Amino acid sequence: MSLPPEKASELKQLIHQQLSKFSTQMDVHGRIREILAETIREELAPDQQQLSTEDLIKALRRRGIIDDVMKELNFVTDNVDQELSSPKQPVCFTDRQSTLLKKTNIDPTRRYLYLQVLGGKAFLEHLQEPEPLPGQVCSTFTLCLHFRNQRFRSKPVPCACEPDFHDGFLLEVHRESLGDGTRMADSTTMLSISDPIHMVLIKTDIFGETTLVASYFLEWRSVLGSENGVTSLTVELMGVGTESKVSVGILNIKLEMYPPLNQTLSQEVVNTQLALERQKTAEKERLFLVYAKQWWREYLQIRPSHNSRLVKIFAQDENGINRPVCSFVKPLRAGRLLDTPRQAARFVNVLGYERAPVIGGGGKQEQWCTLLAFLCRNKGDCEDHANLLCSLLLGYGLEAFVCVGTKAKGVPHAWVMTCGTDGTITFWESLTGHRYIHKSINPDEPPVAEQPKPLYPYRTIGCVFNHQMFLGNCQPSDLVEICVFDLNDESKWKPMSEEAIKSVCAPGATTSLPPFPPLCASTIDASVTSNEIEMQLRLLVSEHRKDLGLTTVWEDQLSYLLSPALASYEFERTTSISAGNEEFQDAIRRAVPDGHTFKGFPIHFVYRNARRAFATCLRSPFCEEIICCRGDQVRLAVRVRVFTYPESACAVWIMFACKYRSVL
């Protein structure tokens, strides 16, 4: 490769600059001088006056000097010929380490904890799991992490007795208070950071259904007392719910501080700090339990029938640990992911509903999930939905409470209530997104007096709570329709001490309190997913009609005209306002000729499995009538619209339609 003189001069200058830069690190110039002097002594014959440049370069290459220098250099582009031939850009070299820092977005002024998951073992439930064939769809494990407002997710790995986890996560360690946000945390500062690393293991089956396998809180501060700031751990994951005492598997984990610690703490100091924190937490929890028992005795003395009311002071999380219900709620800001409280209600509504699994009969299994476990699984029980919605509404500045009571037939249920500044009480059903205005019925009114008819499905209410308050219903009747929601009236609502609640539920009050994770933006491409589901549904409809001996003709224009209706349905679900229906009806009238009949059937799902959705649609006689339509000049249409929400939750609207000539 020949270079023009100006380029050769420029290249020499850059190489000289790089050699000068590395001379302090590698003493390149000194080593070159030593090798050249040695070469001249050994290889210069008495009758030979000088060595050629080629001889000297061979000597440098033979002793590895050139290779050492090149290892420390990295071209900005791999195509050097292109770089050199371009008249616009000079050749550029860069330090390999700085290139790595740029790629991983490391701030050199911050301290990081590098967590590596180096495989798993003893997942005995999958002992007989066959090795998946290339391209075969199989069940997978995904590991989700949360640490100090940072969330991570591993690559899915096939379920196996020894799952092949090999992921690394770079966790930033910093103080958020006392003006220390811009300073690199030292060992002593990090020892005072009690936040654990919350790890949640999710299993996803071949149909896309998720299951919570394990939830584990990793105490990472042992690395502060280890040599060189590096330690390896073996973490035993326990099951959830009724299996919280059963081991489900083991993860091999390596922790490493970056940059390396200048001064490590002794293991004794670290252990003493952890023991002190556990002792303080245990004492706070003991004192709160003593207070809660006293509060409950006083509550029962008001009226013996209170013993049958749903007054929920403690609840079990997924690990079977009893925690105050107030700790499951905290003001949560959604950033720019959700704009309004009603949009937040819609988001919570599209997260899947699933009751905690129970082995055998005997009623409902209790399990209030931590927020990370609920979000990662993307589904949960009514209590999980209510806790999340209440947290979001508190984040929007509303006075929100979780209500615990019953629905019809005495089924236990949880929903959300907001108290307006004008005294308006609004119930929010977290499973449907519906809102109801509560108007109390006065039981002392004469029978002829007109009373408001309740539209909500709630029957009784035992208590209400949020992150700061807990109030037990002590009115003569716990029927929702006649309850008065004046929460400041202690003759109607018995409050718990806010100081007592704060001692165990305030952020940082105890080390056993799981931190709340931030919401993550959706990773679903709405347009691509809508097209994929629509194409799959067209194929399923065509195959179904073929089995019935019917031909299928699709009309793309009619399918497109269904889009405004689907958008209008979602807008109405979010805002409770109907809009755009007139334009849709006008467009359909123009698209359907005289003498023809149009039929349409919209349906809504919160999952993206086309085959499952199609099977559900066929169970509706109205939809089956459209899909199996017979007649003259039958034209079919289907439109799918996916609306995405945080945490990759989505609302899927599908409309099937047909038009045909009416034959009398």
Query: If pLDDT is split at 50, 70 and 90, which confidence band does 61 have?
Result: confident
Interhelix angle 267-302/498-505, rounded to 10 degrees, is 150
Does residue 402 register a pLDDT over 90? Answer: yes
Domain 281-442+452-505 adopts which CATH fold? C8orf32 fold (3.10.620)
Neighbours of 213 (CB within 10 A): 23
Q: Which two tokens stand for residue 403?
A: 């209500």
Confidence check: pLDDT of 30 > 70: no
Query: What integer pLDDT is reported at residue 220 of this predicted model?
Result: 94
What pLDDT, on the 0 to 100 scale, is given for residue 7?
Answer: 59
| In the predicted structure, residue 441 carries a pLDDT above the cut 80 | no
> Any idea where the domains of the chain sit in the sequence?
112-176+183-265, 281-442+452-505, 526-661
Residue 551, pLDDT above cutoff 50: yes
| DSSP for 116-168, written as a single string | EEEEEE--GGGTTPPPPPTT----EEEEEEEETTEEEEPPPEE--SS---EEE
Rounded average pLDDT over 477-482: 92
Q: What does CATH list as the number for 112-176+183-265?
A: 2.60.40.150
pLDDT at 80: 34
pLDDT at 90: 33
**Element (H or E) spanning 656, and its range?**
strand 650-661
In angstroms, how far is the first alpha carbon of the chain from the final one? 85
The mean pLDDT value for 444-461 works out to 77
Mean pLDDT score of the chain, rounded to an integer? Answer: 84
Name every residue whose Cβ is closer than 8 Å to that of residue 331 and which is 6 or more positions away in sequence.
391, 394, 395, 467
The proportion of the chain whose per-residue pLDDT surpasses 70, expressed as a percent, equals 80
Measured from the Cβ of residue 620, the count of other Cβ atoms closer than 10 Å reads 14
Tokens describing residue 188:
């002593």
* pLDDT-derived band at 655, boundaries 50, 70, 90: very high
Answer whether residue 94 shows pLDDT above 60.
Answer: no
The confidence band for 391, taking pLDDT boundaries of 50, 70 and 90, is very high
**DSSP state for residue 456 in the 8-state scheme:** S
pLDDT in tens, 484-527: 999 999 999 999 999 999 999 988 778 778 889 999 999 999 99
Q: What is the pLDDT of residue 409?
A: 85
Please give the Cα distance from 598 to 262 (Å, whole number).
76
- Helix crossing, 382-395 with 341-350: angle to 10°? 160
User: Which residue bears the tokens 């003759």?
Assistant: 491
Stretch 373-400: mean pLDDT:
95
Contact 438, 485 (CB under 8 A): yes
Among 42-46, 106-110, 242-246, 535-539, the range of highest mean pLDDT: 535-539
Residue 157 CA to residue 107 CA, distance in Å, equals 30
Give the model's confidence band at 363: pLDDT under 50 very low, under 70 low, under 90 confident, else very high: low
Superfamily of domain 526-661 in CATH is: CAP (3.40.33.10)
Q: Is the pLDDT of residue 50 over 70?
A: no
pLDDT at 388: 97
Q: Which residue has the tokens 């007054």?
A: 311
Closest CA to 124 of 212, 249, 251, 236: 249
Question: What does the pLDDT average to over 381-387?
Answer: 96
Report residue 171: phi and psi, to 5°.
-105, 125
Across the range 81-104, mean pLDDT stands at 38
Q: pLDDT band for position 424 (50/70/90)?
A: very high
Q: How confident is the model at residue 211 (pLDDT cuts 50, 70, 90)?
A: very high
**Mean pLDDT, residues 534-553 taken together:** 94
Q: Which H or E run contains 534?
A: helix 526-547
Q: What pLDDT is recorded for position 69?
A: 61
Q: Tokens 């100006």 correspond to what residue? A: 6
> 299 vs 293, 401, 490, 564, 663, CA distance in Å?
10, 20, 12, 55, 72
Coil/strand/helix, residue 596: strand
3-state secondary structure 220-268: CHHHHHCHHHEEEEEEEEECCHHHCCCEEEEEEEEEEEECCCCCCCCHH
Each residue's pLDDT tens digit, 562-616: 999 999 999 999 988 888 788 888 999 999 888 889 999 999 999 899 999 999 9
User: pLDDT band for position 163 (50/70/90)?
Assistant: very high
Question: Would the pLDDT of 151 be above 50?
Answer: yes
Across 450-554, the runs of DSSP E, i.e. the strands, are 458-465, 470-473, 493-495
Running DSSP on this structure, what letter comes out for residue 480? G
Query: With 50 as the cut, is the pLDDT of residue 89 above it?
Result: no
pLDDT score at 454: 80
Q: How confident is the model at residue 120 (pLDDT cuts 50, 70, 90)?
A: very high
